[in-house]
Amino acid sequence: MNSCRVITGILLLIIVCAGSTVSADEGGFASWLLSLERRNEVAPVASETYKEECGACHFPYQPGLLPSGSWKKLLAPKALEDHFGENAELDEELRLQLLKLLEKDAAETSYYKRSRKIMASLNGATPLRITEVPYIHRKHHEIPARLIKPNDKVRSLSYCDACHQQADKGVYDDDTVSIPGYGNWTW
């Protein structure tokens, strides 16, 4: 009985110590652990600059949807000149600013559930597309192809907010999905 208490004490100490050494923007491991909010989804985009610069052309994907290795590749100057067929050149100052904030909030730094799952599924890979993340791919596996590509209002899984009604808040829960021309998607 006594040894049980000692072990529990040690475990608690380890948790608190671990928490204090991690100082992520989200408040760290300790605050994640003690929080009533279980950080189920993806951290919402915090930077107005990111929303404006990247969101001018497409849905501003949350930094926590890809690891920093992916963001680094995507934001290389040459890569931005041919950003999936588009020219997305940035001046150097802005490029570095955006890269810094993406790396800071990348999937591996986040305690949000989906970022953790994304990291676990990647196995060290750094894909260029969020749709190539095994976890994301698996989560969309059951959606019939006819609801995506031939669907004028969806076209591709890249348009998160076409179906995920709260994608801008970083919420991708089943309950918030409504596929245009089909309706709510729950099972």
Partner 1 sequence: MHRFLMVTLFFTTTAVMAAGKTIPTSLPELFSYYGARSSLPLDDKRGKDLWFRQTPAKDGKMRDCTVCHGKDLTQSGEHARTGKVIDPMAPSVNKERFTDRKKVEKWFKRNCKWTLGRECTAQEKGDVLKFLSLK
**Please, what is the end-to-end C-alpha distance for the chain in angstroms?**
45
Which amino acid type is present at position 98?
L
DSSP state letters, 58-100: S----GGGS-HHHHHHHTSHHHHHTBTTB-----HHHHHHHHH
Q: Of 31 and 97, which CB lies nearer to partner 1 in the complex structure?
A: 97
From the list 3-11, 51-59, 109-117, 125-133, the region that binds partner 1 by CB under 8 A is: 51-59
Q: Of 91 and 142, which CB lies nearer to partner 1 in the complex structure?
A: 91
Report the candidate in 122, 107, 44 with the shortest Cα–Cα distance to residue 72.
Answer: 107
With CB under 8 A as the contact rule, the residue among 11, 16, 23, 86 that binds partner 1 is 86
Helices and strands (H, E) in the chain, number of each type: 9, 2
24: which strand partners?
none
Q: Is 149 in the site for partner 1 (CB under 8 A)?
A: no
Token readout for 172 is 């991708």
With CB under 8 A as the contact rule, the residue among 6, 36, 56, 145 that binds partner 1 is 56
With CB under 8 A as the contact rule, the residue among 11, 18, 34, 57 that binds partner 1 is 57
From the list 15-23, 29-37, 50-58, 102-110, the region that binds partner 1 by CB under 8 A is: 50-58
Q: Is 129 in the site for partner 1 (CB under 8 A)?
A: no
Backbone angles phi, psi at 67, to 5 degrees: -75, 165
With CB under 8 A as the contact rule, the residue among 1, 2, 36, 93 that binds partner 1 is 93
Q: Is 79 in the site for partner 1 (CB under 8 A)?
A: no
Q: Of 31 and 151, which CB lies nearer to partner 1 in the complex structure?
A: 151
87 contacts 81 by C-beta, under 8 angstroms = yes
Q: Is 94 in the site for partner 1 (CB under 8 A)?
A: yes
Q: Give the binding site for partner 1 (CB under 8 A).
A: 49, 56-59, 81, 84-91, 93-94, 97, 155, 159
